[in-house]
Amino acid sequence: MHRYLSLLIHGHSRTQRLQDNCGQHTPSPGDIVLLVFPTFPALPNPAYLDQVCSVCQKREDSISAWSVLQSGGSVLDAVEKGCARCEIEQCDGSVGYGGSPDESGETTLDAMIMNGDTMDVGAVADLRRIKNAIGVARAVMERTDHTLLVGESASVFAENMGFIAEDLTTNRSLNTFSQWLKGNCQPNYRKNVFPDPSISCGPYKPRVTLQRRKRVRHMYRHSHDTIGMIAFSQDGHVAAGTSTNGLMHKVPGRVGDSPIVGAGAYADSSAGAAAATGDGDVMMRFLPSYLAVELMRAGADPSAACETAISRIKRHHSEFFGAIICANTTGHYGAACNKSPGFSKFQYMVRDSKSDTPVLKSVDCI
């Protein structure tokens, strides 16, 4: 599956056009950059860019966020609006309602939003009945002292905050679930249980002995994705956000990397920002977005920071599926992905003031 990033750049004339393939950008003062997927923090100096990043196959999410910035809205508003658009449009079936049913056939949502200036964060996971997950995440940040709410209690909180309770199931998700049951519940994510999960549905019981085995790679590349978005303003504000309906046929209650600070995304206006997509169960163990930002803080350029974050995971999981995009406070950015069967390039979109629509770019996986 293609992983798309949108990069929108608006402002003064450029000193250098974006380079194809390598993903490295040299900004000019006054540029406003909107990147779709990762996160880029900003510093209050004239060399700093406004940026927004988001991961989704559709362009409308980045356009929505871009319009917020152009109209004078805040970076938090831009991130929320961009992610919410993707939730409504059910980007690739992997964001929003009606996608990625779990073992019980239910669609649940994860989301996170982060303020790179204050380091405030709001997140929700295993959210039921509420379509606007990114909006609920922002409510957690602004209406509570907490960082993360999960499950049924998160849904009740959302309803109390005025969000409308709706069925997240659609005919499409019901059909997906039905076909999965007919196929003996394959694939699934169980191990060390009986009956044998590789050939049978549950209910499952634990085996007496644990068997260590190589992790089975059976991710749905066409239905497991995240929209990750970051935004920068000209006066140095930055925000990051993510939204997803998670991994198809996941064990009920599973939470991936998207709502986890430092895993799905991370923003710090004093250093930079990053966002990741891929196999969240593996990637969240390494906090790649946080690592990349800290590497940039120490002086690494964004491309090198991205590659190091990917390489660290690769040492333990050589064939994991994942990608990351990074940007620093000077507006430079880069991306990296892990080369695995069926995944050799990471694609993202670029838009600047000289183009009417986003332009597709790519980086070769390592």
What's the CATH code of the domain at 76?
3.60.20.30
The phi, psi pair for 294, rounded to 5°, reads -65, -35
Please give the residue that has the higher pLDDT: either 53 or 143. Answer: 143
Of 214, 247, 237, the closest CA to residue 329 belongs to: 237
Distance of CA 213 to the CA centre of its chain: 29
pLDDT at 32 over 90: no
In a domain, 308, yes or no: yes
Do residues 168 and 108 make contact, with C-beta atoms less than 8 angstroms apart? yes
pLDDT at residue 326 greater than cutoff 60: yes
* Maximum average pLDDT range among 17-31, 147-161, 317-331, 334-348: 147-161
Instruction: Give the integer Cα–Cα distance in Å for 45 and 328.
Output: 13
Query: Hey, what are 316's tokens?
Result: 């333990």
| Beta-sheet strand order (sheet of 265-268) | 265-268, 272-278, 322-328, 333-337
* 2 part of a folded domain: no
Q: In whole angstroms, give the CA distance from residue 107 to residue 127.
A: 9
pLDDT tens sequence across 136-148: 999 999 999 999 9
Residue 231 β-bridge partners: 34, 239
Residue 13 reports pLDDT greater than 80: no
Q: What is the spatial distance between Cα 13 and Cα 30, in angstroms, rounded to a whole number?
A: 8
Contacts of 304 (CB under 8 A, 6+ apart): 295, 334
Looking at per-residue confidence, does 319 or 216 come out higher? 319
| pLDDT in the model for residue 70 | 72
pLDDT band at 11 (very low <50, low <70, confident <90, very high): very low
Residue list for the binding site for substrate: 254-257, 277-280
Q: Any residues with CB less than 8 A from the CB of 327 and at least 6 apart, and which?
A: 33, 35, 38, 39, 40, 41, 51, 53, 230, 272, 273, 274, 302, 333, 334
Stretch 280-301: mean pLDDT: 96
- Whether residue 20 lies inside any domain: the answer is no
- Rounded to whole angstroms, how far apart are CA atoms 193 and 203? 10
In the structure, what pLDDT confidence band is assigned to residue 358 with cuts at 50, 70 and 90? low
Exposure pattern of 160-189 as b/e (b: 16+ CB <10 Å)? eeebeeeebebeebeebbeebeeeebebbb
Closest CA to 286 of 319, 259, 325, 260: 260
Query: Residue 193 domain-assigned?
Result: no
Q: How far apart are alpha carbons 287 and 44 in whole angstroms?
A: 27
Supply the pLDDT for residue 234: 73
330: pLDDT confidence band, cut at 50, 70 and 90? confident
- Residue 75: pLDDT band by 50, 70, 90 thresholds? confident
Q: Say yes or no to pLDDT of 152 above 50.
A: yes
Comparing 128-137, 148-157, 343-352, which segment has the lowest mean pLDDT? Answer: 343-352
**Predicted local confidence at residue 197, as pLDDT:** 96
Q: List, for residues 194-211, the tens digit of each pLDDT value.
A: 999 999 999 999 999 998
pTM, two decimals, is: 0.85
Total tally of structural domains belonging to the chain: 1
Q: Are 68 and 77 contacting, i.e. CB atoms less than 8 angstroms apart?
A: yes
Which residues 6+ apart lie within 8 Å of 162 measured at CB? none
Per-residue pLDDT at 328: 82
Mind giving me the DSSP string for 254-277?
A: ---STTSBTTTEEEETTTEEEEEE
Is residue 319 over pLDDT 70? yes
Q: Is residue 247 part of a domain?
A: yes
- State the average pLDDT over residues 261-289: 93
DSSP for 180-213 reads HHHTTS-S----SEES-TTT-----EE-SS----
Confidence of residue 14 (pLDDT cuts 50, 70, 90): very low
Task: Name the pLDDT band for 9 (thresholds 50, 70, 90).
Answer: very low
| Residue 115, token pair as written in the block | 């303020």
Structural domain of residue 157, as residue ranges?
51-174+225-364
66, 46 contact by CB (below 8 A): no
**Which residue ranges make up the annotated binding site?**
254-257, 277-280
Domain assignment present for residue 121? The answer is yes
Task: Give the active site residues.
Answer: 226
The mean predicted confidence, pLDDT, of the chain is: 81
More confident residue, 354 or 248: 248
Please indicate, yes or no, if residue 186 is contained in any of the structural domains: no
Looking at the domain assignment, is residue 206 inside a domain? no
Closest CA to 125 of 239, 242, 279: 242
Could you give the angle at which helices 133-143 and 75-89 cross, rounded to 10 degrees? 150
pLDDT at position 4, please?
A: 37
Res 144: pLDDT: 98
Mean pLDDT check: name the lowest of 59-63, 64-68, 295-299.
59-63
- Phi/psi of residue 158, nearest 5 degrees: -60, -45
Q: Please, what is the end-to-end C-alpha distance for the chain in angstroms?
A: 17
